[in-house]
Amino acid sequence: MRWLRLYLRARRVHQALAVAVSVAGLAALLPANVRVAALTAMLAVAAFGPTLGAADEALERTGAVPWPPRRALHLGAVALLVAGLLVALVVGPDSARFEPLVVALRDVAGLLGLAALGAAVLGAAHAWVAPLLWTLVAVLPLLGPSADVRVQVAAWPVQPAATTSALVCALALAAAGLVAYSVRGARA
Amino acid sequence: MTGPSTSHIIRLELRRSAAAVVAVLAFAAGTALLLTFPQGFAGRWLQLAVALRLLLMFLFPVALAGGAALGRREAAAGVGELFASTPRPRRQRMLVTAGALAAALVAAYALTFLVALAWVLPRAGYFPLAALGVTAVGALALVAGGWIGLAAGRAVPRFVTAPVLAVLGIVVAGMVPQWVMVTRRSPAALLLSPVYSGSLDDFQTVSARVSLVQALWLAALAATGLLLATARRRTVAPALLPAVLGAAVAVPLLPPGGYAAAAAYDPGAVELVCDDAGPQVCVTRVHAGLLPDIAGPVRAALATLAATMPGAPVRAVETRRPAYGTGPADPPHDAATLVFAAPPTGADGRADLRDGSFPGLVLGAAWEQSCDPAPADAFDGRELAVAWLTGTAPPDARLAGAYAALRARPEDEQRRLVLAARDGVLACRPDAFAGLTA
Amino acid sequence: MWKVHAEALRVRAGRRLAVDGLDLALGPGVHGLLGPNGAGKTTLMRALATVLRPEGGRLALLGTAVTGRADLRAVRRALGYLPQHFGYYPRFTVREFVEYMAWLKEMPRRDIPGAVQRAVDRVGLTARADARMKTLSGGMLRRAGIAQAIVNDPELLLLDEPTVGLDVEQRIEFRALLRDVGADSCVLVSTHLVEDVAAACTGVVLLDEGRLVWRGPAAGLAERGASGDAGDSATERGYSALLRAHRGQVPA
């Protein structure tokens, strides 16, 4: 437990958690629609972006502990945390308030995968860029729930729950991010 | 500051800072998004300007995020102590960074416009100055967003500032106006948002007064952003003054009703451009690029009408009534003129005739007149008349019965009814189509 | 006119009064600033670099008083400072960063390119002048920091731990640079490396707990040590002896 406590402090997880909780709390006050849900999920994921990298990556990599399972666990924990926040504050116990649970989970998985991919390629400092840009594109009125597969993929965070291509895209991003981040870690 | 030295430093900032990256991302994504709907602006300058303003819903948050990323640079690099020992005031340092960011954002916006011009120039027939005004307001909005982001990034130099600010930007400037309009209230303050919402008819223009007031407001907002970026603790409150004053001055001058109220009928766009190689076919100036493609089908329709009835129209003119939005109705026309609606513009700037409905619509225009109120069953009556002319059953299944009844009559009777309907419509009689739809 | 003149100087670092009643007068030459960790060396450097405002006492830099509401721009134009934690923009090249610092020091526009080239040459980074700063090793980064400090030929040069990461050869070249600069400027070098002090400095300032312990020529430091004092060189033994004497006099 002591290791866990030190790790959480080193990665500044409490700060990220505070930001994510505030964002979800504010989002609960806004009109309930899928665009707001997508933006909330993205912000919560972006808040945890800096936790994906250490203050001194080069130093931490020299440790004897195997990092890949720990990184994967880190991602999984963040996913559960953010999804839990969304479910508790934004989706609500009666899912009539908001989009179905599946949409929230899909968005969290896909955006977190994208952030992890960004951390592996650009560094933890820039992990927020890709999720932000893709979500901004997706919430444009120009795109939206559509029958065209290209639009479904381009705007996957705002597609309804039954859209297979959006789900596939999100899962692909989640898998790619998980593998890339676990294996390579955040770029120093 | 010594002049050339400052420009040298601005160029250094452009090369080596996040300003260039933000600009490249804005340009790439903006251009890609713009080119997903070229049919919305092909051949029309003002529609391109408006399309770019629609895209501000994406570009404005990107400018905010980019500014925030740039604003945290000094804190992130740890240069604060070193720079504190230098004589040049912090304000001048930030001014250079702000200048580089503004140049990069405006360049990205302009380049997106220039690239999309390739879809506009070949078939453009009308250049309204409002296009420049609308574009200038968009560029100003990006600069204001970038400078506000710069101030925010300097004040809160954390990683999460950029995405939070971007989301705040898109919610406040993009989503809140739409939510407010849904509640049926449209205060003048809606036009404070630079993000265009809704659509503009080809025959409309954006009121110059609205563009001017918006430009003033955004300039004040940009000034506040710049002052906040260079502020010390004591000067934060005075820095907000330009934005507050700007809003206070702008809101009374803006019309309520959002961007729909900012649209005005444009007489310049509806001036007629004519093709006289044969029976005269005229279109509006803004649709001049469609003339080569529709002159043929329109003349074919005129020929069909001439072959079938006496008193057929000898020239065709495009309607000058906007498809949506406010605008004057056409004046009543005589029997010698056919007033038709132009087909939509395709992605290449040419007329989009793919669904094959245009010839039928042109023929149907012979049974149309500018009447208030319109004759009863005008739409069905026109369809029946066109079906009779072309000899094919009307596509609407409801009219199959009426069409069969018409065809069951003797030939002369059919002709008489159809021609009487045309005379009735031209004279604006309310029962003009009674004979056909009975 | 003293380049640096401090009287009963008090400077606060956070909550601690790191410099507590310091009297110091420095003229041209190379002065070594020695002292244990926590003695207030870095805080003193920061106050002399006008980064920190002194809390009390009087401080005059290059003849201008800097306590109270003084305009520091004229003083800062003749200042060169290398902080202990040298922050930099990683994407800038060495030349660009030194140019940027020259611009920040309000050097005349015409002089900047030549001065930058000279500074880069003097620290031996000519070959890496157009390399991005993030590609430099620790020692090269430090030398780039020295380059930006000397680019405006400062009258008062403040270097906080300038030889960190420099190899033996580079340290020898650096001492030559110091002697060159110290000919008509006042150079204050804070360092733990006593050999550097002994070789390059004309004077030594020894601080402990925010107060002046000893002030004198570098050779004088070596004379203060006896064979029983801690240290592997005469200078180190002198250093230990002075500190021990000072702490013996100061109540615990």
Question: Residues A81, A85, A91, CA angle at the centre, nearest 5°?
Answer: 135
Q: How confident is the model at residue A54 (pLDDT cuts 50, 70, 90)?
A: confident
Q: What band does A93 get if pLDDT is binned at 50, 70 and 90?
A: low
Furthest C-alpha separation in chain A: 51
Cis peptide before B177 (omega within 30 of 0): no
- A87 vs A89: CA distance, rounded Å: 6
In this structure, which amino acid lies at residue B438?
A
Q: Across chain B, what does the average pLDDT equal?
A: 91
The H or E element that residue B318 is part of is strand B315-318
Token representation of residue C88:
């930099």
Q: What is the pLDDT of residue C246?
A: 85
How do residues B189-229 score in pLDDT, each as one tens digit?
A: 899 999 999 899 999 999 999 999 999 999 999 999 999 99
Contacts of B29 in chain A (CB under 8 A): 133, 137
A122: contact with B, CB 8 A cutoff: no
Cβ(B303)–Cβ(B366) below 8 Å: no
**Residue B156 CB partners (closer than 8 Å, separation 6+):** B72
> How, if at all, do strands C203-208 and C29-34 pair?
parallel
Backbone angles phi, psi at C30, to 5 degrees: -105, 115
Residues B99, B93: Cα–Cα separation, whole Å = 10
Residue A155 CB-half CA count within 13 A: 22
Instruction: Verify B-C touch: 3 or more CB pairs within 8 A.
Output: yes
Q: Is A19 on the interface with B (CB under 8 A)?
A: yes
Q: What angle do CA A77, A83, A88 make, to 5 degrees?
A: 125
B83–C89: do the CB atoms touch at under 8 Å? no
Six-digit token pair at B155?
């004040």
Q: Which of C50, C76, C103 to mutate to test the interface with B (most CBs of B within 10 A)?
A: C103
State phi, psi for C58 to the nearest 5 degrees.
-120, 140
Q: Are the Cβ atoms of A140 and B33 closer than 8 angstroms?
A: yes
Nearest CA in chain B to A151: B36
The answer to whether C64 touches C20, Cβ cutoff 8 Å, is: no
Q: According to the model, what pLDDT value does residue B438 have?
A: 66
CA distance C82 to C174: 14
With a pLDDT cut of 90, the percent of chain B lying above it is 61
CA distance B187 to chain C (A): 46
Provide the pairing of β-strand B281-284 with C4-13. Answer: unpaired
Partner-chain contact C49 B85, CB within 8 Å: yes
Question: Residue C68: CB partners within 8 Å, gap ≥ 6?
Answer: none
Instruction: List beta partners, residue C7.
Output: C58
Which of B12, B80, B87 comes nearest C106 by C-beta? B87
**pLDDT, tens digit, 9 for 90 and up, residues C48-102:** 999 999 998 999 999 888 877 677 899 999 999 999 999 999 999 999 999 999 9
Picking from A24, A119, A134, A132, the residue whose alpha carbon sits closest to that of residue A74 is A119
Return the top range by mean pLDDT from A101-110, B94-103, B395-404.
B94-103
Q: How far apart are the first and last CA of chain C?
A: 37
Averaged confidence pLDDT in chain A: 88
Minimum-distance CB partner of A31 among B163, B179, B197: B179
pLDDT of residue C248 exceeding 50, the answer is: yes
Q: How much is the pLDDT for B403? A: 86
Give tens-digit pLDDT for A115-146.
999 999 999 999 999 999 999 999 999 898 88
| Nearest-angstrom CA–CA distance, B137 and B215 | 5
pLDDT of residue A99: 61
pLDDT tens-digit profile of B28-79? 999 999 999 999 999 999 999 999 999 999 999 999 999 999 999 999 999 9
**Residue environment code for A155-185, b if the CB has 16+ CB neighbours within 10 A, otherwise e:** bbbbbeeebeebbebbeebbeebbbbbbeeb
pLDDT exceeds 80 at position A25: yes
The per-residue pLDDT for C252 is 45
To the nearest whole Å, the CA of C33 is away from the closest chain B CA by 19
At B376, the pLDDT band (50, 70, 90 cuts) reads confident
pLDDT-derived band of residue A60, with 50, 70 and 90 as boundaries? confident
pLDDT tens per residue across span B131-142: 999 999 999 999
Condensed to tens digits (0 to 9), the pLDDT of residues B68-87 reads: 999 999 999 999 999 999 99
Please give the DSSP secondary-structure letter assigned to residue B332: P
Q: Is the pLDDT confidence value at B427 over 70? A: yes
For the residues C220-228, what does the mean pLDDT come to?
80
Kindly give the residue spans of alpha helices, DSSP state H, lying in C61-167: 73-77, 94-104, 112-122, 138-150
Structure tokens at B31: 């251009």
- Regarding predicted confidence, which is higher, B394 or A42? A42
**Structural tokens at position B434:** 């009674």
Give B86-101 as a DSSP string.
Answer: SSS-HHHHHHHHHHHH
Interchain CB distance below 8 Å, B87 and C76: yes
Instruction: Tell me the sheet residues that pair with B84.
Output: none
pLDDT at residue B3, rounded to an integer: 41
List helix spans (H) across C110-228: 112-122, 138-150, 168-181, 194-200, 218-223
First vs last Cα of chain A: how many Å apart? 27
CB distance B402 to B384 below 8 Å: yes
Q: How confident is the model at residue C238 (pLDDT cuts 50, 70, 90)?
A: confident
Distance CA B56, CA B139 (A): 9
CA-based max dimension of chain C: 58
In this predicted structure, what is the pLDDT of residue A92? 54
Predicted TM-score of the model (pTM): 0.92
Chain B residues with CB-CB distance to C87 below 8 A: 77-82
Q: Is B401 exposed, middle or buried (0-12, 13-18, 19+ CB in 10 A)?
A: exposed
Q: For residues C217 and A136, give the distance between their C-alpha atoms in angstroms, rounded to a whole number.
A: 66
> C87, B5: Cβ pair inside 8 Å?
no
Interface membership of A18 toward B (CB under 8 Å): no
Contact by Cβ (8 Å): C61, C7: no
CA atoms of B437 and B290, how far apart (whole Å): 34
Best mutation target, B160, B170, B176, B196, to test chain A (most A CBs within 10 A): B160
Chain centroid, CA C78 distance in Å:
14
pLDDT band for C106, please (50, 70, 90 cuts).
Answer: very high
ipTM: 0.93
Instruction: Give residue C195's pLDDT.
Output: 80
Would you call C104 and B5 a contact, using CB atoms and an 8 Å cutoff? no
As given in the structure block, the two tokens for residue C231 are: 């240290």
Chain B residues inside the 8 Å CB shell of A128: 159-160, 162-163
The tens digit of pLDDT for each residue in B309-352 reads 888 899 999 999 898 877 888 888 888 999 999 999 999 889 98
Strands C203-208 and C211-217, sheet pairing: antiparallel
Query: Mean pLDDT, to the nearest integer, of B173-189?
Result: 87
* Radius of gyration in angstroms for the set of CA atoms belonging to chain C, rounded to a whole number: 18
User: Which residue reads 């000067």 in tokens?
Assistant: B235
Judged against a pLDDT cut of 50, whether residue C34 lies above it is answered with yes
Both structure tokens of A2: 């002591």
**Chain B residue closest in CA terms to C111:** B5
Q: Chains meeting A at 3+ CB pairs closer than 8 A? A: B
| Cα(B52)–Cα(B109) distance, integer angstroms | 8
Each residue's pLDDT tens digit, A28-53: 888 778 888 899 999 999 999 999 98
Residue B186 is given by DSSP the state -
Q: Which residue of B16, B79, B86 is in closest CB contact with C105?
A: B86
